[in-house]
Amino acid sequence: MAKIPVYVGLDYHEKVVQVCVMDFGGQILLNRPCNNDWRAIVDLVESRGRVVQAGIESCCGAANLAEELVAKKGWLINLAHPGYVGRMKLNPDKHDWGDARMLADLVRVGYLPRVWLAPQAIRDLRLLVRYRQQLVEAQRNAKLRIGALLREHRIRQAPAQRWTRVWRWWIQQHEGLTPHVRWVLDRQLARLDEIVKERRLTETYLEKATADDPVIQDLMKLPGVGHVTAWLLRAEVGRFDRFRNGKQLSRFCGLTPRNASSGLRQADAGLIKAGNPVLRAVLIQAAHRLMRHHAGWAQLAERLLRAGKPKSVVTAAVANRWIRWLFHQMQPERKTA
């Protein structure tokens, strides 16, 4: 006798996974914790039926487990957006039993809010790109601490722009600092040098690691796109053809205006809060470059400015239009045409 079709919800944790198995009618056949191992999960689930589809919340480590279940057993498994799943529960209580049940039920009725399961190569690239971004943020914070120290002791009237060699020499020779302040400042400058060295080393490694990536090479050919923009787009977007249209890609990047309309009142409320904020910031910076150096985008910006739009709104609009244009440029059929 063939096994009955079942739907599976997996609430992921580091050591155990709460497994809920549900039949077509919504009856719970099993809901209990299991060791965080794909073999143990498969044995437990397949003792109740034949897996039709499974869902697991997107969190640290969940993608690796999902990929194992797909590769080893051929399960049809989807990552779920944890924020949307949480809002769907409409329940103030939080427990693993209920989380796994909700995931299984959403999979069963086809309402699971899916998140793209990126392949291992893209997840590794994300790790590298986000590590570089952490170094960039650490570099900025180190500079802010040094600047605050100098303001605290009223060190100003520098002979050169900050962070240049002349400025570094001047600050190291300055006589208006006490021994304790001098010691702290030297340590902060040494830490800044270490961070800058590590960031450059990471960027060199990224250049070598992505030298043969065709998507990054295609992105680098576009005006206004450098290594950082190409790395971020490749790491966060992954595949451009996984989106239905340019508008969906723009919303993923957080560049779509958020509507705040009610009744006869029609209004915008800025950009939607979605996607990686670093990716959105980099695309806004790319829009600034396009407005300065690319005639077509500069004309669009000028037309919007003449219409009375604020500069920040114009820049976001250029970024929005550009990412929609990029969606069509990166489609496989356009490349082979």
Concatenating the DSSP letter of every residue in 17-36 gives EEEEEEETTS-EEEEEEEES
Q: What six digits make up the tokens of 136?
A: 């960039």
- Residue pair 189/168 in contact (Cβ under 8 Å)? The answer is yes
Return all residues near 209 (Cβ < 8 A) that are at least 6 apart: 125, 128
pLDDT for res 337: 45
Q: pLDDT of 126-177, one tens digit each?
A: 999 999 999 999 999 999 999 999 888 888 777 888 888 888 888 888 877 8
Judged by phi (left if over 0) then psi (alpha if -120 to 50, else beta), residue 17 lies in: beta
Q: Where are the domains of the chain?
A: 5-115, 121-209, 215-336
Which of the pair, 184 or 333, is modelled with greater confidence?
A: 184
- How many residues appear in the chain? 337
Residue 204: alpha-carbon gap to chain centroid: 22
Q: pLDDT of 285-336, one tens digit each?
A: 999 999 999 999 999 999 999 999 899 999 999 999 999 999 999 987 665 4
- Residue pair 114/81 in contact (Cβ under 8 Å)? The answer is yes
Q: How far apart are CA 79 and CA 113, in angstroms?
A: 8
- Residue pair 188/135 in contact (Cβ under 8 Å)? The answer is no
Q: How far apart are CA 101 and CA 28, in angstroms?
A: 8
Tell me which DSSP letter residue 222 carries: S
Of the candidates 36, 5, 12, 31, the one whose C-alpha atom is nearest the C-alpha of residue 20 is 31
Q: What six digits make up the tokens of 196?
A: 């800058």
Residues linked to residue 19 through DSSP beta bridges, in sequence order: 10, 32
Q: pLDDT of 202-242, one tens digit each?
A: 999 999 999 999 999 999 999 889 999 999 999 999 999 99
Q: How far apart are CA 112 and CA 56, in angstroms?
A: 10
Tell me which DSSP letter residue 243 carries: S
Q: How far apart are CA 50 and CA 42, in angstroms?
A: 10
2 — pLDDT class (breaks 50, 70, 90): low
1 — pLDDT class (breaks 50, 70, 90): very low
pLDDT at residue 122 is higher than 60: yes
pLDDT for res 151: 86
Of the candidates 118, 172, 120, the one whose C-alpha atom is nearest the C-alpha of residue 146 is 172
- Residue pair 294/247 in contact (Cβ under 8 Å)? The answer is no
Neighbours of 27 (CB within 10 A): 9
Q: Is the dihedral of CA 92, 93, 96, 99 positive or negative?
A: negative
Whole-model pTM: value is 0.85
Rounded mean pLDDT of 233-254?
Answer: 92
Q: How far apart are CA 77 and CA 45, in angstroms?
A: 13
pLDDT at residue 54 is higher than 50: yes
- Residue pair 112/55 in contact (Cβ under 8 Å)? The answer is yes
Q: pLDDT of 3-19, one tens digit each?
A: 899 999 999 999 999 99
Question: Strands (DSSP E) along the chain, which ranges?
Answer: 5-12, 16-23, 28-35, 50-57, 77-80, 114-115, 257-259, 268-271
Q: How far apart are CA 3 and CA 61, in angstroms?
A: 30
- Rounded to the nearest integer, the mean pLDDT of the chain is 89
- Residue pair 103/12 in contact (Cβ under 8 Å)? The answer is no
The CATH class of 5-115 is alpha beta
